Amino acid sequence: MKKRIILIILILLLGLICFYFGQNFDKVKEGYYIEQGYSFKNPQGWEKTYELGPLAFLNKNENNYNNPFKSYIFFIKDELKGRSSEQYFDYIKTQVKNSSESIEILDEKEEGAFHVIFIKAMQNENNYVIGTALTKGIHDTYFVISFKTLESSLENTKPVFEEVYKTFKLR
């Protein structure tokens, strides 16, 4: 009889613990995008899309008047392929420089686990700002979180980008 009461109490206690952690887990993942290997806070008001190839979020609500461009944030996983971190950062900067008519590095900094670069570029007579946050993954990999926006939209999109990369976590 005593064993049965203890067993019932243990089952109830286990059920309460599972319920508690289940409720709190939902609160933790609410508002976050969880991908295989990483997670980050969802950019509010931005839609997930695969139009750009890799996982990306597009600011569908952005109004750029006559310009149809929409700001976007995208994620890629890349391999170092024997390069050092510095060589990889230089490789990324070269890729960006080769994609535009004119380039100006606005800011480059180390912020926590991220190497962050902001670049101003002109394409088709429009000024854009490209932000890239790079962080070391497991083994020989890097995760690249990048965004592109019109320079005139930077004030609204830069905080969204910063929130995404600052909440990025490897799983």
Place of tokens 């289940």: 22
Q: Two tokens at 5?
A: 């009461």
Q: Are residues 125 and 98 in the same domain?
A: yes
- For the chain, the domain total comes to 2
Q: What CATH number did the domain enclosing 71 receive?
A: 3.40.1000.10
Q: How far apart are CA 158 and CA 22, in angstroms?
A: 34
pTM: 0.75
What is the model's pLDDT at position 35?
76
**Domain of residue 56, residue span:** 31-170
CB under 8 Å to 136, separation ≥6 — which residues? 85, 113, 142
Beta bridge partners of 147: 73, 131
What is the model's pLDDT at position 122?
86
Q: How far apart are CA 154 and CA 62, in angstroms?
A: 12
What is the model's pLDDT at position 137?
87
Q: Are residues 52 and 114 in the same domain?
A: yes
* Phi/psi of residue 43, nearest 5 degrees: -70, 115
Angle (CA) 92 167 63, round 5°: 75
pLDDT in tens, the chain (171 residues): 666 666 566 565 555 455 544 443 433 456 788 877 788 888 888 988 877 767 889 898 888 888 888 899 998 888 888 888 899 888 888 887 787 768 888 999 999 899 999 999 888 888 999 999 999 888 888 899 999 999 999 998 999 999 999 999 887
Q: Two tokens at 161?
A: 């980008």
Q: How far apart are CA 171 and CA 169, in angstroms?
A: 6
